[in-house]
Structure formats: structure tokens, C-alpha cells
Amino acid sequence: MTTERIRTAKEEIRAEYLDESQRFPWIVGYSGGKDSTLVLQFVIEMLLDLAPDERTRPIHVLTNDTLVESPILANYIDKMLELIRAASDRLLLPITVVKTSPQPDQTFWVNLIGRGYPSPNRMFRWCTDRMKIRPTSDYITSQVAASGQVVLLLGVRRAESAVRAASVNKYTPKDGRRLNAHNTLKGCLVFRPIVDFETDEVWQVLLQRPPPWGGSHRELVTLYRNAQGGECPLVLDKDEAPSCGSSSSRFGCWTCTVVEKDKSIEGFIDNGFTHLEPLMYFRDWLAAIRNDRSRRQRTRRNGLVTLMKDGSEVPGPFTLEARQAILEKLLAVQDEVGLPLISDAELSEIKRLWAEDTLAEAQSVLGALRNARSGAKP
């Protein structure tokens, strides 16, 4: 069955690439995981089977860096991107390698420490949209603006989960076509060339076929084995958000507090990466202080108090004192592990936001004093 699936997938990829009615650029979503790796491998193998004058359709290999990725995964992806870039140049392939990241004022640390957003949970998962969806969507939108339309290739498979299967079935064209319009990105068509592959088949192909950009998939296999799970894939839609921060063991952001326990980093530590222990303890601490009322403001950043249905108050962002404590602890962890965890640009933005909050608080106090002196109600 695997041989037939491979043949069918590669034939469909070739047919779509050479389709004269669809000459728009391709964007291959690459997360560094097994599924996106297999899609990218099939695409590059297809290009190598074509004559040079047939390789006229530009291909963008798009990955997203949240800036708080697992250090082991981040190093692996950077290494693979450099190999893919070098191989594309050497083999004269029309491939552009792109890595997106959150806007400087929308990173994890700027939102959590600068604005005081509480550590993400399932009810308030503010991180996925700001750090994953927006950066990749902005890049795709820019390519649509430049070319009129793009085709996005994703390593999505029905066998991933029942939720994934339902999502695939919902957006699969009913007329037998391989492409469907993205439900939120105008001008973007989606192509899922390995949608019917089983997990064992994906691994079988990767273990039997070396990557065309050089090296082997041995490091990828080791990455999964050590992490005891899977990757958080490229996310472009809030409907796909459960794939990030799910209950399964996935390697992604080391700061993820949506999951109760980060089994992936525990797996890395158990397999010898003991230098990551401070990251795990810091992440657990972030999750633990999230609901500590003494560390949260009463009002939201807009100055309003939010009430639940039972009349109880929903706590606001972290207090300035709590944010200062988080930053001090983060910088201490950074020194301990010897890894860059927060950038100078983020520190500058955090200090700017703190200054604004301090000024707003001072103005509020002064306003209250003036009202009191004038006999007005506060």
C-alpha cells in the first residue's frame, strides 16, 4: 500500500505543479516534523525529476519561529533550512527558504512580561494567534498580493486524529479536485498531498529514502524518540489551534503552559539533555502563578473589571511587580542555561510598556487625588 500511496502522491504533486491553468507560486509549510518533511521531500524529488526548463513555478519553503521554540527543535530546524537552502542553490531549484516570526511588539515575552498577559491556558490561548497565525498569514497574504494567488502545501493527514479527520473532510472539495480554497486567507488554495498516509507509512518512507537536500532522517527520528511525541505543525487558522498545546506529547514552544505537563521536554531531559531542566522548572512556575490573585491586577488593561456569570471578578493582567519578578527569574535562567531566551529588542519593548503603565497608574492616582480634594466622587 505504501508504494501505491507514494506513486499517487508524487503523480498528483507533479500534475499540479505542471498544470498550465495554475501557474501561481507554491508555499510549502515546513515545521520540521515528519509530515511536513515528507511533503517537502516529495516536492523536491519531483523538481529533480523535471527538466530544468520545466521548473518555472517558484516554491517557498515557509517555517515559523515563535522565538520560544524548544532549543533542540530550533537548532534542528535551522540546520535543515540551511541544508535546503544550500541544496536549492547548488541544484538550481526555484526554491526560496523563509522563516517568519512574531512582530517585535507581539512576542511571548513582550505580551507576558511587558503587558502582563497571564500564562496561556485553554480558555485564553493568546499566543497561537500572535506568534504563529499572524506571521505566517502575513507572509502568505504578501505573496497573494504579489502574484494574485498561491497554493499552500500542508502535511495534514486524516490519521493524525479524529479532530483532524473531521477538519480535512469539512474542507475537502466534493468535485474530486485536489485543491480547495483556504477558509480565511483569500487567494490561497490548499493542497494536502499526503492526506491519506498512515503514520507508519510516513516513517517507512522517511527511513527508506534519504532527503534530497543531503544527510539522512536519522536526526529527525532521534528527535521524536527523545521528545516522546510529535511536532506542533504550522498553524494558519484558529480552527487548527488545538493541534498546538494539545494533551498529546508534542515538541514546540518550551514556554507552553496550555498543557498540564510538558512531556516533550521531560523526554529530552530523560534522554540526556539535562541542561534543559531549568527551562522546565521555569515553565512549571509560570503555570503555577497564573491563578495567583495576589499577582494579578483587578482591572484589565483597558481599566475595566470583567465579571463572570456568577458575579465573581475575572482577574486582570499580572501586576507590574509580578512582571518584574518574572523577568528577573527569566534572566537568571538564561544565565544558568547559557542560551538566548529573550532578546535586547524585547527587553526594550518591555521597558517601554512598563513606562507607559507606570505613567498611566500615576495619572490615575493624581486624578483620584484631584477628585478627592474637589469633593467629587472618585
Please give the distance of CA 301 from its chain centroid, rounded to a whole number: 26
Q: Which residues of 345-374 are buried (b: 16+ CB within 10 A; e: fewer)?
A: ebbebbeebbeebeeeeeeeeeeeeeeeee
Where is average pLDDT lowest: 89-93, 122-126, 181-185, 345-349? Answer: 122-126
Q: Does residue 248 surpass a pLDDT of 50?
A: no
Q: How far apart are CA 144 and CA 181, in angstroms?
A: 13
Question: Quick one: pLDDT band at residue 255, thresholds 50, 70, 90?
Answer: very high
Residue 282 has pLDDT above 90, yes or no: yes
* pLDDT above 60 for 177: yes
User: What is the SS3 assignment for 334?
Assistant: helix
At the topology level, CATH places domain 2-273 in Rossmann fold (3.40.50)
CA trace torsion 226, 230, 235, 238 (10° rounding): -120
Give the separation between CA 181 and CA 79, rounded to whole angstroms.
Answer: 32
Inter-residue contact 234 to 256 (CB < 8 Å): no
CA dihedral 212, 65, 326, 331 (to 10 degrees): 60
DSSP string, 129-146: IIIIIHHHHHHHHHHHHH
Q: Does the pLDDT of residue 242 top 50, yes or no?
A: no
In the predicted model, is pLDDT for residue 181 greater than 60?
Answer: yes
* pTM summary value: 0.86
> 296-347: per-residue pLDDT in tens?
998 877 777 777 777 777 789 999 999 999 999 999 999 999 999 999 999 9
What is the mean predicted confidence (pLDDT) over 115-122? 94
Average model confidence (pLDDT) for the chain?
Answer: 87
Which grid cell is 77? 530546524
Q: Alpha-carbon distance 212 to 351, whole Å?
A: 46
**Residue-level pLDDT at 249:** 44
- Inter-CA distances, 171 with 29, 126, 168, 185, 191, Å: 18, 25, 5, 13, 11
Confidence tier at 232 by pLDDT (50, 70, 90) = low
For residue 231, CA distances in Å to 221, 234, 342 come to 12, 9, 22
**How far is 128 from 101, CA to CA, in rounded Å?**
12
Cell 523526554 locates to: 267
Q: pLDDT, tens digit, for every residue of 353-362?
A: 999 998 877 6
